[in-house]
Amino acid sequence: MDNIAIVGVGQTTIERNKLGDTFADMVFEATQKALEDAGMTMDDIDNVITTSNDFWDGRTISTMAVGDACGAGMGKNMSALEGDGTFSCFYGMTRILSGVYGTSLVVAHVKGSESENLLITNAIFDPLYMRPIGLDSLNSAALQMRRYMTKYGVTEEQCAKVSVKNHKNALKNPYAQIKKEVSLEDVLESRLIADPLKLYDCSPISDAACAVIIAGDDRAKKAKKPVWVKGVGYCADSYFLGDRDLADALALDMAASKAYEMAEITDPLEEIDVAEVYDAFSYMELMWYEGLGFCPVGNGGKLIDKGVTEMDGKLPVNPSGGLLSGHPVIVGGMIRLAEAVLQVRGDAGDHQVKNVNTALAHGINGPCGQSHCVWIVGR
Amino acid sequence: MATDLKDQELLVYESRIKVPYTWSVGEVGSRFLTELKENKKIWGTKCPICEAVFVPPKKTCTFCFVACHEWVELKDEGVLQTYTVVRYDSDLIPGKKPQIIGIVLLDGADTGIAHMIDGVSPDQVKVGMRLKAVFNDKRTGQILDIKHFKPI
Ligand SMILES: [Zn+2]
């Protein structure tokens, strides 16, 4: 691919409770920042896509409620997606590829602070067979972590290293919610949530919004600081947990393969300079290393042991601090994409990785990583 | 954002959403749940192409996108594939804290079933242990007609 670019990004700070902001306030802030970043006004925006979740927002067709805050009220074509922000960016890109639009403004928001995480994530599951057991985002992740550790011999200590790394990286990210150094012992000795998941293996509840502006062809070429989309892949796995081997990320494997093929990447560890992946839980980052082909299947733990994904390693992963330092669901993957764009531009500030030509961003949605979207962006 | 309203006290409006639903169980689900209720038997469906046996049964094969018409009776025993011990309070889990939740692969099935595990302490539960379904005496045609799985 060579005709689509991300031309502007904007994010709010991630906080436990943005008490002073409504959903719309957050979306307005992120949109204004993205427009400013792109050097554009709302006149340059051909269509708008919003991303949210009705259960989290507590209203039907919640995506409509933020229309004014992202300029859709000015007679724009506004469409809506539920799921992760990377999925809606994919949609924004395809709308440009359709030839109808030259630019897409894509926004995502969530306020995890305003509702009950267990009730909402229990409702992800099938009402007949899985919901009555009391499954939720925490205990389902724990089932996956145990299965992953059992199948591949990955240890709790290796998982904990992800949390240590990402918390350390977050200290340098002004948008991060949790800025606190944690040691391996802190993670391993933190409160048991659902064995083998401990408190510091889990991402926090968060509020935030993000906005991304995508442009095509001439509109992209004229942009102030375009970052080019080299490849994208987006795949889903089966819904029922028992239908999958939870230790393997097959949908990610497929999504990554498609993105790499488009981007003509054959050796991701060599060719990618930085990656922002969806670390909702510490063990997930290790699983995603494998799904993304950074190491052979089952070797995620060994990869972090070798320090490959540390800030000074061969392929730094989550220099922003990832979601373990702030996890606005729905928005999470879009922030990964915004961070990848900043890394390519050299605009990531204190958490900038040196000499980034090619960056990877990854978003997921659904229990235990049911759907995955992989973006490769570069110069 | 409210830069010019710095002294404004921030209000929070408390409310709730309460919406009753009735979910159709469908023909396949109805047969499965009726067998649990009437006969304490666990049935699955089999894909004609890949021969995967699904429990809970499915009308469509996840892997082949074809209809699964064949029914297969499964044993009420199987192997624990993975588990967790839930340490936090959750009103949504029917059992007592700390409740063990696991995925059980029943003999003859190709997909696991998520359920509660009881009759074993959290420090004794192990992946690979053999388990048997314990049925409720009063059954109403729902997944919780299986009370839990317990070690054999
Ligand atoms: Zn099949």
Identify the helix (H) or strand (E) that includes residue A302.
helix A300-305
Listed in sequence order, the residues at least 6 apart from A284 whose beta carbon sits closer than 8 Å to its beta carbon are A141, A144, A278, A369
Beta strand A103-111 with A4-11 is unpaired
Task: Quote the tokens at residue B127.
Answer: 């992946």
Q: Where is average pLDDT lowest: A58-67, A114-123, A357-366?
A: A58-67
Instruction: Give helix then strand counts, H and E, for chain A.
Output: 13, 11
Bond preceding residue B56 cis, omega within 30 of 0: yes
**ipTM tops 0.85:** yes
What is the DSSP-derived secondary structure letter of residue A323? G
Spacing of C-alpha B63 from chain mean position: 20
In Å, how far is A379's CA from the nearest CA of chain B?
A: 34
**Residue A57: pLDDT over 90:** yes
Give pairs for A296-299: CB < 8 Å, separation 24+.
A297/A152, A297/A248, A298/A151, A298/A152, A298/A153, A298/A154, A299/A152
A237-252 mean pLDDT: 95
Of residues A19, A135, A192, nearest to B114 (C-beta): A135
Q: What is the residue-averaged pLDDT of chain B?
A: 95
Query: How many angstroms away from the CA of A377 is the closest CA of chain B?
Result: 31
Q: Using 50, 70 and 90 to split pLDDT, how confident is the model at A36?
A: very high
**How does pLDDT run across B92-136, given as a tens digit for each residue?**
999 889 999 999 999 999 999 999 999 999 999 999 999 999 999
How far apart are the C-alpha atoms of A359 and A374, rounded to whole Å? 11
Which H helix or E strand runs over A166?
helix A156-170
Size of interface A-B (CB pairs under 8 A): 114
Q: Quick check: A116 and A128 in contact, CB under 8 A?
A: no
Q: What is the DSSP letter of B127?
A: T
- What does the alpha-carbon distance between residue A54 and residue A49 come to, in Å, rounded to a whole number? 15
Nearest to A193 among B62, B88, B143 (CB): B88
Q: How confident is the model at residue B3 (pLDDT cuts 50, 70, 90)?
A: low
pLDDT tens by residue, A302-330: 999 999 999 999 999 999 999 999 999 99
Order of all β-strands in the sheet with A227-236: A77-81, A47-51, A103-111, A207-216, A4-11, A227-236, A371-378, A358-365, A274-276
CB–CB of A19 and B92 under 8 A? no
In angstroms, the CA A124 to CA A81 distance is 16
Q: 3-class DSSP state for residue A316?
A: coil
Give the integer Cα–Cα distance in Å for A7 and A214: 6
Residue A169's pLDDT band, with cuts at 50, 70 and 90, is very high
A139 vs B contacts (CB less than 8 Å): 84, 86, 90, 101
pLDDT digits (tens, 9 = 90+) for A178-228: 999 999 999 999 999 999 999 999 999 999 999 999 999 999 999 999 999
